[in-house]
Chain A
Amino acid sequence: MQPGTYISGAGHLLLIGWAALAGFFDAPPPPPVTTTNVSVMTGQEFAALTNQPVETPPDAISEQPQAPDTPEATESPAAPAPETAPDVAAAPDVTETPPPDDAPDVSEVQPIPRAEVTPDAPEAPDQPDTVPGASLVIGDSDTPTPRSVPRIAPEAAPEPSPEAEIDEIVREATRSDDAEQAPDPVEDEPETAPEAAATETVTEAEEETGGTQISTLAPAQSRRPPQRPNRPEPTPAAQPVEETPEVRETPAAEEPAPQEAEPETPPSDAINDALNEALAGGGADTDAPAPAPSGPPMSRGEKDALRVSVQRCWNVGSLSSEALRVTVVVGVSMQQNGQIVQGSIRQIEASGGSGAAAKQAFEAARRAIIRCGASGFPLPAEKYSQWREIEMVFNPEGMRLR
């Protein structure tokens, strides 16, 4: 048993005692509800108020002619002919339409030998900037506005500056000439920013519902409250005198209880902190001795860092709707430097779809692990025994609705 365990146990006991004896679970009365009366008007009414001419669209949905509205149509029904008979001067150029060209013959091709892998990967040339813009702008015309944010990500991100390199970690550019006076010279580092993204797909109809330019009015990122609001003071009558002072010495906002430290979606700052913390932990230190199997467990931040580093490469955009219903569990063996053991990625189980859909889901998961694990995952080397084998559960349920 380690001191941390004793401290944790003592803390839990204190919390349990306080919860059992104090009025902790007495829910505060709900805040009063403010009611505001609103009225609804149609677009025509609004236009009438503002004296704007409104062009009335066609009044019916129909692929059929208007003829059904003529009940007296018996011998000579009102022919819904065109208003003016078209004067067809040009000879119709109808010819025997060739059916689609003959179906191609299909046969399999012999497999090819495997390439010899060169030890050093060549440097990637500069890619043209194909990062799309981040604005969801509603056009006034009926011509659809190019929908310029094809990327959906857990966190919305604005369009990065042209000079910025795409990276999950936001970093300002550093230049060596800026730091000439500094005792420790720094190397030039480019500015980095995450790729532009929205959090969910917005259809053209949903854009219109807003009735305005979403991107210009909506905040690019929701702002979290700076701290939790203080809990209401327990009523003095319900407080045992001896227990209360100890609880009050530890405000919930500063040191939340373990159960409170689980944000469902960590803010980007927390993600960056977790990544930086884990990276600083020397996850790629291959010379470190192998940790004992009984080492400390992975902290929540370390797990989050791993999770975040995988999910930013998990692209489900090209999966079929059936594959998006498949939850696949992928096993992977890890090296001590945080890189995956080549050929160790395997499907452990899949549920929610056919074998073909599971195969697509597994391949997307495998691409994510390989791509983002190429240079090693941010994992603490001293806890290698804890992450020597990893099982990743890829559940796209939340992504299906985006």
Chain B
Amino acid sequence: MTIARLFLAALLALPIAPALAQDGPLRIDITEGVIEPLPIAVPTFVAENAEAQQLAQQLAQVVVDDLVGTGLFRQIPQEAFISNITSFDSPVQYADWKAINAQGLVTGSVNVGSGGRVNVKFRLFDVFAETTLGDGLQLGGSTDAWRRIAHKVADQVYSRITGEDGYFDSRVVFVSEDGPKNARQKRLAVMDQDGANVAYLTSSDSIVLAPRFSPTGNQVLYTSYETGFPKIYVLDVGTVQRRVLADQPGTMTFAPRFAPNGRTVVFSLSQGGNTDLYSLDIGGGSPRRLTDAPSIETAPSFSPDGNQIVFESDRSGAPQLYIMPAAGGEPRRISNGAGRYGTPVWSPRGDLIAFTKQNQGRFHIGVMRTDGSEEVLLTASFLDEGPTWSPNGRVIMFTRETSGAGGAPALYSVDITGRNLKKIPTPSLASDPAWSPLLP
């Protein structure tokens, strides 16, 4: 005990010497900061000719809506601007933008040439550093493509500030629903990720479920009850042509999903009362069995590298999440919390798995590491289900259904931090969203 006291006493004596002198620069540790939306100014883009006047306003507004919609940015209203951007190539008066605390500034110009071709130029400035963030870019396209051009601009701004890819120039396929709850008509629809440009892919003659984009975004897998019981179809988004996959008599197929290579499909096949996972080449052939258990295996989803599959199984008595090699093999259970887990989806980044959880009468959308650790529940409601990842792995979209006789489904999105929970505008009731990859 005495030795320990003497040792500690010697330790106490140590701070005296360093306090007397400071070698080198003063060093301070900053470990606490703030998390708040970044104030950003997006003046109306400069119209370089009369035809571009309306587009200039619309483009800037879509860029603002995209950025502000992430919850990571805050728009500084135009009324607060001191400077006006009257020419795209005019020098920026940084002091004017600093004075209103604009930390990012997006300037742009629009030109509509003969033949209806739109050219958009933009620059992003770090106002306080008085420098541009990246080079200026010019984007061109048809007049009809103006929203895509705006999304591309927003993607660039988002990427240059946050350091991660954007997700604005992407689409969502979903099940559009109309009619009363006991006679709901369902059809597949596709829209931009912000709810614009809705188009329908199927009729409402039969029930459709669980659409899933291909890795290139030009095909959609879905389940239809057209024949009276569930079958998987593959549909070309451009031509709306479709064909059935894995059409074996006496079986039911559902919950399909593409492999990252775009050539293989994994799905559930129910035969003789047992449901297992199978894989199939998109071109045809015979399904190959991946699991062989008396329980129900469903909702498969590939890891981004295509080497593993996460899926839902009730082999332990209640639905839980498991991971196995893509070619089949011994599954490893990853969900260990209370409640029932389902509809797992692997993040495009590969680090997280989103899932639906039911516990104590409430439904949640959550995320966990691929080993099941660090589970975080992001939402809670009467019924939340069916998560899908944005192309950059930052946002999750899902279905939320309200309770009661008038209950209705709608699409919602939430950031993986649990912030920025919001409803996605759709022209009718909507469910089962699936996000496309970032468009080329």
Contacts and interface: CB of A to CB of B under 8 A. Distances in A.
Interface of A: 5, 8-9, 12, 15-17, 19-21, 24-25, 42-44, 54-58, 60-65, 67-68, 70-75, 77, 79-84, 86-88, 90, 92-118, 121-125, 127-128, 130, 141-144, 147, 150-154, 197, 201-208, 258-259, 265, 297-298, 303, 306-307, 310-323, 331, 356-357, 359-360, 363, 365-368, 370-371, 374, 386-399, 402
A301 to B, nearest CB: 13
B116 to A, nearest CB: 12
A90 B179 CA distance: 12
Contact of B38 (A25, A92, A95, A318): A318
A298 B140 CA distance: 57
Interface stretch (B42-50, B266-274, B284-292, B326-334): B266-274
Contacts of A44: 361
A82 B206 CA distance: 9
Nearest to A208: B380
13 contacts: A42-B360, A57-B403, A68-B275, A68-B298, A86-B185, A88-B185, A99-B237, A109-B121, A110-B89, A147-B420, A204-B418, A317-B38, A397-B31
Contacts, number: 466
B90 interface: yes
B293 interface: no
A316 B299 contact: no
A313 B35 CA distance: 10
B244 interface: no
Interface residues on B, range: 35 or more
A304 B373 CA distance: 36
A307 B26 CA distance: 11
Contacts of A105: 138-141
A125 B133 contact: no
Contacts of B417: 201, 203
B247 interface: no
A390 B25 contact: yes
B305 interface: no
A17 B5 CA distance: 10
Given A122-B82, A150-B36, A315-B33, A323 B162 contact: yes
A8 B210 CA distance: 73
Nearest to B36: A151
B33 A111 contact: no
Interface string B120-153: 1111001011001101111111101101110010
A92 B187 contact: yes
B96 A122 contact: yes
Contact of B25 (A79, A144, A391): A391
Contacts of B358: 57, 60-61
A392 B12 contact: no
B425 interface: no
B163 A64 contact: no
B138 A107 contact: yes
A316 B33 contact: yes
Contact of A297 (B21, B138, B376): B21
Contacts of A371: 101, 103, 128
A111 B134 CA distance: 10
Contacts of A317: 34-38, 72
B32 A398 contact: yes
A363 B228 contact: no
A95 B203 CA distance: 10
Interface string B195-221: 000011111110101100000011000
Interface in B304-325: 312, 319
Contact of A122 (B95, B152, B201, B412): B95
Contact of A204 (B35, B252, B421): B421
A322 B418 contact: no
A25 B5 contact: yes
Contact of A62 (B80, B141, B342): B342
Nearest to A317: B35
A25 B145 contact: no
Q: Which of A9, A15, A150 has the most B CB atoms < 10 Å from its CB?
A: A150
Contact of B30 (A71, A103, A113, A307): A307
A151 B35 contact: yes
A201 B417 CA distance: 8
B419 interface: yes
A100 B250 CA distance: 38
Nearest to A112: B89
Contacts of B343: 61-63
Given A88-B185, A147-B420, A70 B16 contact: no
Given A15-B12, A317-B34, 11 more contacts: A43-B361, A65-B209, A81-B207, A115-B94, A117-B94, A144-B423, A205-B378, A315-B36, A366-B129, A371-B101, A395-B29
A356 B162 CA distance: 10
Nearest to A141: B402
Given A57-B362, A317-B72, A142 B382 contact: yes
Given A16-B9, A398-B32, A88 B138 contact: no
Nearest to A395: B31
A95 B240 contact: yes
A142 B404 CA distance: 11
A366 B128 CA distance: 8
Contacts of B427: none
Interface string B360-397: 11111010000000001111111101100000000000
Contacts of B103: 315, 367, 371
A63 B33 contact: no
Contacts of A320: 162-164
A256 to B, nearest CB: 14
Contacts of A86: 179, 183-185, 204
B402 A142 contact: yes
A135 to B, nearest CB: 16
Contact of B403 (A55, A147, A391): A55
Contacts of A394: 30, 33
A186 to B, nearest CB: 27
A19 B9 contact: yes
Given A12-B16, A125-B82, A57 B183 contact: no
A141 B408 CA distance: 13
Interface in B224-260: 225, 228-230, 237-240, 250, 252, 254-255
Contacts of A118: 93, 95
Given A64-B268, A310-B30, A387-B26, A103 B421 contact: no
A87 B204 CA distance: 10
A150 B226 CA distance: 46
B35 A109 contact: no
B167 to A, nearest CB: 12
A150 B418 CA distance: 11
Nearest to B37: A150
B115 interface: no
B38 A124 contact: no
Nearest to B140: A105
A101 B143 CA distance: 10
Contacts of B376: 203
